[in-house]
Amino acid sequence: MSIHPIDYRYGSKEMKEIFEEEKRLEYQLRVEAALAEALADFDKIPKKLAQIIKKRANLNFVKLKRVKEIEKETRHDVMAMVRVLTKVCGQAGKYVHLTATSYDIVDTALALQIKDGLEILFKKGRELLNTCLNICQKYKDLVMIGRTHGQQAIPITLGFKFANFADKIGQNLKKLSESQKYVLGKFSGAVGNYAAQKNFGLDEKFEKKIMEKLGLEAVDISTQVLPRENIARIISDLAIFAGTIEQIAKEIRNLQRTEISELAEPFLKEQVGSSALPQKRNPWESENICSNVRVIRSCVYPALENIALEHERDLTNSAAERAILPTIFVLMDDILERMNRILAGLKVFPENIKRNLEMTGGKIFTEAILTELVKRGLARQKAHQILRKISVETSPEDFKKILFKNKEVLKYLNQKELEKIMDYKNYIGFSVEKTEKIIKKWQANSE
């Protein structure tokens, strides 16, 4: 029976499979197989027996149900797995887990999980970047109002707005790519000093050989466990990436407000917005993203707490990681896919964008007029004072009428010049050029 929404509501099948209980066991068995192969490579066990271990270190032979039965007796999950694997390997079983400690297996298997999870997130992140860049290209010339503090400021373009988002997505993907250097394995024994390996005539090349077989790099030094700083860095980077997606979701939610209505989520033909109000088209997908990002952020704190383990290790990180790693990867997977779906079907309403541009009657051009007045010789503070007074004391309907009659203004600018200044397309700065620059910057990375 499913209890947690992650089980039945969020995330893709491919991501959830990585963190399923059976899959976790499978990763650990892969490490055991690599260990046996490496022992044979260094002539420490017969190659024939190593091949038996490799062949049987999988879910066809080692059943999760049996491992859990043994765990009830041992109260130790790895030892339960080792016992089952030992038994199914027959005469080769005496070499299972040789020179290993539990967390050589657990942490290296965890690295494999994180590696596979990150690959899925990279793929979906690049898809999202590409979708965002398409919006930038399509709407790079569509002039809209820019807002600060929730108030109308000056014009930008819709493409420019999404170029900001695209650049952040690209930077997050770049940072996440750099974080792959923290996805490391280890095979250094009970306190990290390779005592068991050295006593068995092995050196650090043995650890490297195991990692090569698994497609991993080995950490430079460890205690019994890998440094939890590494996991904390990856989780923090994912949470920052999630914050960017939340920002996009918030923007769509705000611009979908009835009073603004410039953008909207896609809405299916038979979709229902409200059980009570038939007219509603709620931005529920964006709201869902914002909600789940809160959970993602909450995973950062225990990841940071897990850093300060005692001596060469304790077990205080274990239970927390079992919860936060599947949570952050599955929810990150979900919000990437959901945001890509939203942006791919994003509704844009140019007529409402134009209506909102004209809402203030031209007051959004006071900065442009101020700049031109200064260029013509009027002191900046004087110009600011004049335009502020006109703006504050007039309604949108009367703004132009009063402005065009102001004697101080007319000393420097005539009505025709003011009209030209108050053309929206003449005051978007480098919105289009910046958008094109960002498209070019990230286009190759989105493919």
DSSP 54-70: HHHSSTTTS-HHHHHHH
Residue 274 known to be catalytic = yes
- C-alpha pair distances (Å), 11 with each of 296, 328, 436: 13, 10, 33
Q: How many CB atoms lie within 10 A of CB 24?
A: 20
The kind and range of the H/E element at 156 are strand 151-157
Closest C-alpha to 335, from 418, 412, 238: 238
Q: Tokens for 382, please give them.
A: 């004087």
Please say whether the beta carbons of 286 and 252 come within 8 A: yes
Partner residues linked to 143 by β-bridges: 157
Q: Tokens for 147, please give them.
A: 């807002």
Q: How far apart are the first and last CA of the chain?
A: 40
Conformational region of residue 188, where left means phi above 0, alpha means psi within -120 to 50, and beta covers everything else:
alpha
Active-site pick, 149, 275, 311, 446: 149
* φ and ψ at residue 226, rounded to 5 degrees: -65, 150
Please say whether the beta carbons of 369 and 413 come within 8 A: yes
Token pair 């004049």 is at which residue? 386
Residues 6+ apart with CB under 8 A from 223: 191, 192, 309, 311, 312, 313
- C-alpha pair distances (Å), 4 with each of 9, 263, 299, 330, 354: 9, 33, 16, 12, 45
Partner residues linked to 295 by β-bridges: none
Residues 6+ apart with CB under 8 A from 82: 32, 96, 97
Active-site pick, 4, 274, 298, 395: 274
Please say whether the beta carbons of 202 and 42 come within 8 A: yes
Q: Tokens for 199, please give them.
A: 């006593």
Residue 149 known to be catalytic = yes
Residues tagged active-site = 149, 274
